[in-house]
Amino acid sequence: MRSSAQNKIRSISYAKYGYMFILPFFIIYFIFQLFPLLNTFKLSLYGNGDAATNTFVGLQNFKDLIIGEGNLSVVAQHKNVIRVFQNTLILWFGNFIPQLALSLLLAVWFTDINLKIKGKTFFKIVMYLPNIVTAASVAALFLMLFSKTKYGPINSLLMGMGMEKPIDFVRNEWNSRFVIMFAQTWMWFGNTMIMLMAAIMGISPSLFEAADIDGANSRQVFTKITVPLLRPMVIYVMITSMIGGLQMWDLPYLFREGTTTNRFTETIAVYIYNHFHNVPHNYGYSAAASVLLFIVTAALGSVCFIMNIDKDAVAKKKQIKEAKKQMKMQRKSSFGGF
Amino acid sequence: MTKNGNINDSYAAKVRMKSIGVMIFLIALTIICLLPIYILFVNSTRSSQNIINEGISFLPNGHFFKNIKETIRLDEIGTINYSAAVGYRNSAIITIGASFLTVFFSAMTAYGLVVYDFKAKTPAYTAILLVMMVPVQVTSVGFVQFMNQIGLTDTYWPLILPAAAAPPIVFYMRQYMKSSFPLDIVEAARIDGTGEFRTFLTIGLPMMKPALGVQAIFSFISNWNNFYTPSMILISREEKQLTMPMMVSSILSNDKLSDLGVRYIAIFLSILPVIIIYCILSRTIVDGVAEGGVKE
């Protein structure tokens, strides 16, 4: 028999502490992220330029950017937005594909039991190093290394090997893009490699052993075991890289001549920044472009989310539901039926 | 017997050839990874004349400290807007403040989600996960406008306070706690009469030390490298407020600076702290990446 005191103790709920512990997070989140997000939406419905910032223009900004009909400046903005989306895509593809190929190759090599590689830890450490270097400094460094004068280290090296004129890596369309793609790959391949390695090591080793016993060579193991089981991780890496690629700002912004924006590497993020920061302050366009970016990111995120739903767990839940239904029907029929 | 011997030999030989090929590739890759930083270092030890006259060089020179003195001199006479001392100080204030808030409040939020059972628990966690998806640019426009309206632009508050809400870190801490935090300890502490918050501080946090450590490091690096948010908030580019990345940016866009050695050393000094931290803690960092798929 429980005393009333014991009963009382049993009914103490600590649930309120749960609320208290998570409260600071949500307070800060509401003030510094949720409200600003709604503010961005609101700003996208208002005007541009210092004079018009408080005029409500509805969806005009979006119409201007997406369709681009109207006076010359509207058409120019529309073309700009198309251009920056293109730039963003080009820069992302050019960075992601080599990066994924390289990281996958390295991850497979590093986890291959047959391949004896000395100093794996050293290589991992060296290859992750570019990831922690400040992106702004990487941009500055590469801007100096690829300088178009003959004092630039790269150019001086190339000219020492017999090239006649120095290459312009900053103002030339594809040269500057190449440097950005190279720099991004340089910075991120170590990170991707380590994540893929973790995913490969998550595959049960008994599968690899069975394949080894069956006499499969490295290529067969790769195509028939590693790649299919790695698919979720590769998709995750792809989506996070895409979302990261949409936000590329440090490198494309700084890799330029003086203070003029580089037209060929201007990504969406740079566009948003410029219209916000430079005079005239086109808050409307900046916010509208941000909203477009948000929509694209949300779409990609949903794709990732859908792909990650544990199909087995969903199927099991369905089964349980079905079983419950059956039992209910049985009980009903055995009770009221004849 | 001889046939089998041959097959084994040729297989072993193939594996060895492949291993050698892979090693060569890896060494080449190592060189590509380290070369830019090495050249940065070498060039920051050379005088501007040397760089101009002799082009590329792989050997360090002796001008390191002279270049540093030159940056101080040029800063004083106003040619450049760069001061390593000021930059270090500013970046340190923001970074340490933000990292502390991130680690502490993420641990607290994760603790709340794991230890307690309450109706809003699952929706709250899902909400936190969803927040991770939003790119920083999307909120930044509204964020800076809002800060402008309440007069917090050109201060460090908007750069430090928001760090308390860091969804990926909460995610990581929660995973860590679910796998290695025994809830009985909380029960035991309650029986002993310890208050909930005190339990968190004196028992919970110490037990999460490894996770706290890893996240503190990542948070430090990420905040130190952050160039976007300070550029948006510190609108009046006053030198005494600039963070290190912003100072590097100001060196880049400076037309009056012709001393190449100074440019190189400015960039080098900006990454020196992170490189030092990495050299000391590289294994922890690399292991942490493998565990958590950490965002930079």
Tens of pLDDT, residue by residue over B271-293, are 999 999 999 998 888 888 877 65
Tokens of A196: 């893929």
Q: Which residues of A touch B116 (CB under 8 A)?
A: 14-15, 17-18, 21
* CA-based nearest distance A230→chain B, Å: 15
The confidence score (pLDDT) of residue A337 equals 46
A34 DSSP assignment: I
Mean pLDDT of B96-102: 95
| Among B119, B224, B289, beta carbon nearest to A134 | B224
pLDDT band at residue A11 under the 50/70/90 scheme: low
When mean pLDDT is compared across A45-54, A309-318, B118-127, B145-154, the lowest value belongs to A309-318
Tokens of A41: 């939406």
What is the number of alpha carbons within 13 Å of residue B238 lying toward its C-beta?
10
* CA-based nearest distance B138→chain A, Å: 5
When mean pLDDT is compared across A316-325, B123-132, B282-291, the lowest value belongs to A316-325
Q: In sequence order, what DSSP letters do the residues of B54-105 get, joined into one string? A: H----S--S-HHHHHHHHHHHHHTTS----HHHHHHHHHHHHHHHHHHHHHH
Q: What is the mean pLDDT of chain A?
A: 82
CB contacts under 8 A, A 115-154 vs B, are 115-118, 121, 123-145, 150-151, 153
Is B281 buried (19+), middle (13-18) or exposed (0-12) by CB count in 10 A? middle
DSSP-derived 3-state class of residue A303: helix
Residue type, A63: K
* CA-based nearest distance A284→chain B, Å: 10
Q: Count A/B contacts: CB-CB distance under 8 Å.
A: 289
* CA-based nearest distance B181→chain A, Å: 16
Q: Please tell me the distance from the alpha carbon of residue A145 to that of residue A156, in angstroms, as a whole number.
A: 10
Contact between chains at A18 and B118 (C-beta distance less than 8 A) = yes
Distance of CA B295 to the CA centre of its chain: 10
Mean pLDDT of B224-239: 88
Residue A151 has pLDDT above 80, yes or no: no
- Contacts of residue B78, Cβ cutoff 8 Å, sequence gap at least 6: none
Q: Is B285 on the interface with A (CB under 8 A)?
A: yes
Selected for mutation to probe chain B from A32, A106, A238 (highest B CB count within 10 Å) is A32
Residue B164 has pLDDT above 60, yes or no: yes
- Dihedral (Cα; A276, A278, A280, A283), 10-degree rounding: 0
Tens digits of per-residue pLDDT, B132-143?
778 888 888 889
Q: For residue B133, give the nearest of A261, A282, A247, A223 by alpha carbon.
A: A247
The confidence score (pLDDT) of residue B102 equals 94
CB contacts under 8 A, B 224-243 vs A, are 224-225, 227-228, 231-232, 235
Q: Is A43 on the interface with B (CB under 8 A)?
A: yes
| Among A115, A129, A145, beta carbon nearest to B33 | A129
Tens digits of per-residue pLDDT, B245-280?
998 888 888 877 788 888 889 999 999 999 999 999
| Among A126, A194, A290, beta carbon nearest to B290 | A194
Tens digits of per-residue pLDDT, B13-51?
888 888 888 999 999 999 999 999 998 998 888 888 887
Residue type, B203: I
Give the residue from chain B lying closest to A126, CA to CA. Answer: B30
Selected for mutation to probe chain A from B132, B141, B268 (highest A CB count within 10 Å) is B141
Q: Which residues of B touch A40 (CB under 8 A)?
A: 138-143
What is the number of alpha carbons within 13 Å of residue A148 lying toward its C-beta?
11
Contact between chains at A24 and B164 (C-beta distance less than 8 A) = yes
| Among A42, A116, A194, beta carbon nearest to B286 | A194
Q: Which residues of A touch B28 (CB under 8 A)?
A: none
Radius of gyration of chain A (CA): 28
- Contacts of residue B38, Cβ cutoff 8 Å, sequence gap at least 6: B58
Mean pLDDT of B62-77: 84
| Among A33, A157, A190, beta carbon nearest to B56 | A157
Q: For residue B107, give the nearest of B207, B221, B205, B220 by alpha carbon.
A: B205
* Integer CA distances (angstroms), B183 to A6, B103, B112, B117, B160, in order: 21, 21, 12, 12, 32
Selected for mutation to probe chain A from B137, B223, B279 (highest A CB count within 10 Å) is B137
Q: Which residues of A touch B23 (CB under 8 A)?
A: 117-118
Mean pLDDT of B61-69: 84
The confidence score (pLDDT) of residue A8 equals 56
Tokens of B188: 């035991």
The confidence score (pLDDT) of residue B7 equals 65
Residue A304 has pLDDT above 90, yes or no: no
Phi-psi region of A216 (alpha: psi -120 to 50; beta: other; left: phi over 0): beta
The confidence score (pLDDT) of residue A112 equals 79
ipTM surpasses cut 0.95:
no
Mean pLDDT of B207-228: 91
Contact between chains at A19 and B37 (C-beta distance less than 8 A) = no
CB contacts under 8 A, B 25-64 vs A, are 26, 29-30, 32-34, 36-37, 39-40, 43, 51-52, 55-56
Residue B2 has pLDDT above 60, yes or no: no
pLDDT band at residue A137 under the 50/70/90 scheme: very high
- Contacts of residue A74, Cβ cutoff 8 Å, sequence gap at least 6: A64, A68
- pTM for the model: 0.83
Mean pLDDT of A200-208: 81
CB A266 within 8 A of CB A252: yes
CB contacts under 8 A, A 252-281 vs B, are 254, 258-259, 268-269, 272-273, 276-277
Radius of gyration of chain B (CA): 25
Contact between chains at A26 and B165 (C-beta distance less than 8 A) = yes
Tens digits of per-residue pLDDT, B79-90?
778 888 888 999
Tens digits of per-residue pLDDT, A22-65?
999 999 999 998 999 998 888 888 877 666 567 787 788 888 88
Q: For residue B105, give the nearest of B179, B162, B21 by alpha carbon.
A: B162
Contact between chains at A151 and B170 (C-beta distance less than 8 A) = no
| Among A24, A160, A243, beta carbon nearest to B135 | A243
Residue A321 has pLDDT above 60, yes or no: yes
Question: In B93-124, which positions are buried (b, 16+ CB within 10 angstroms) versus exposed (e)?
Answer: ebbbbbbbbbbbbbbbbbbbbbbbebeebeeb
Q: Which residues of B touch A298 (CB under 8 A)?
A: 133
CB B87 within 8 A of CB B70: no
| Among A39, A126, A136, beta carbon nearest to B34 | A126
B202 DSSP assignment: I
CB contacts under 8 A, A 45-74 vs B, are none
Of residues B79 and B176, more confidence is placed in: B176
Q: Phi and psi (nearest 5°) for A12?
A: -70, 125
Q: Which residues of A touch B144 (CB under 8 A)?
A: 276
Q: For residue B238, give the nearest of B156, B162, B163 by alpha carbon.
A: B156
The confidence score (pLDDT) of residue B220 equals 93
